[in-house]
Structure 1
Amino acid sequence: MRVWIARLPVLLMSAGIVWVSNQSVTVPQPFSFADKLYHVLAYAVYGWTLLLALRTFPLASRQQLVLALSIGFLFAASDELHQAFVPGRTADLLDWVADAVGIACAVGLTIVRKEHACPK
């Protein structure tokens, strides 16, 4: 049961991202490049939930981090590709870069936290 509780957030985030990407109407942005900030923030949370889910697998810490980056980057790329087929949406390389930055931030913060954690 605990395993599924740890994996549920990434499944919900994945579904939420796909749902938002499937909307053909976009929301007006309050400032230029606001959408890139939204991408970074959303994918930072996605990366964090991905790391939580990967902790439930018998992998070394480094493997979890590399897998989180790989899965996250591929999911972001597939999301952008998906948007190319949604009326009113386009695939945007800069959106993917913002997604990748968000995932990298989640992984980077995890590394920093582990480096500065108090020894047990």
Structure 2
Amino acid sequence: MPLIAWLLPEASRHMMETLHILLRKTGHFLEYAFLAFLLFRAFRGRENAFQFTWILCAALISLGYSALDEYLQTFTSARTGSFYDWLIDASGIACSLGILIRKHKKF
């Protein structure tokens, strides 16, 4: 939040809190989108062919890791695990893998 205050010194406290939440949620989305993409690439290796199994494995591992992350946050006093955060993570995963499916889909 200090960075937001430094970049936008005229911003109200409410605006800074809103931007802070927006940046954190965007980070969740992008973090898990990138994780799913990297897992897909790891399963694919050097093959040029496309297998739906790679998408499925990347999705399941990413979703499981996200759920575990949210669950573990419930044990710390400074953080809270949230189903809504998990949905944001899942949206990033779905978006990333959806783009990969669309890219490799034969029309």
TM-score in terms of structure 2 length:
0.72
Amino acid at match of 1:107: L
Q: What is the CA-CA distance between 1:36 and the residue it aligns to?
A: 1.9
Aligned AA (1:38): G
Counterpart in the other structure of 1:34: 23
Superposition pairs of residues 32-71 of structure 1, within 5 angstroms = 32-56=21-45, 61-71=51-61
**What residue is the counterpart of 1:114 in the other structure?**
104
- Whole-angstrom CA distance in 1 between matches of 2:72 and 2:44: 28
Percent identity between the aligned chains?
A: 30
Check 1:52–1:29 CA distance in 2 against 1; reply closer, same or farther (3 A cut): farther
Structure with the higher fraction of residues in helix conformation: 2
Distance 1:99 1:67 in 2: 16
Displacement of 1:31 after TM fit? 5.0
Structure 2 residue runs of 5 or longer lacking an equivalent are: 1-16
Query: How big is the shift at 1:32?
Result: 4.5
Q: Which runs of 5+ in 1 are unaligned?
A: 1-27
Residue 103, structure 1, aligned to residue 99, structure 2: no
- 1:87 partner SS: coil
Structure with bigger gyration radius:
2
Give distance in 2, aligned partners of 1:98 and 1:65. 19
SS at structure 2 position matched to 1:70: helix
For the Cα contact (< 8 Å) 1:45–1:106, is it kept in 2? yes
Shift of 1:61: 0.9
Aligned-partner Cα distance in 2 for 1:102–1:92: 16
User: Bigger CA drift: 108-117 or 98-107?
Assistant: 108-117
| Partner SS state of residue 46, structure 1 | helix
Residue equivalent to 2:12: none
- Name the count of aligned residue pairs: 89
- 2:93 counterpart SS class: helix
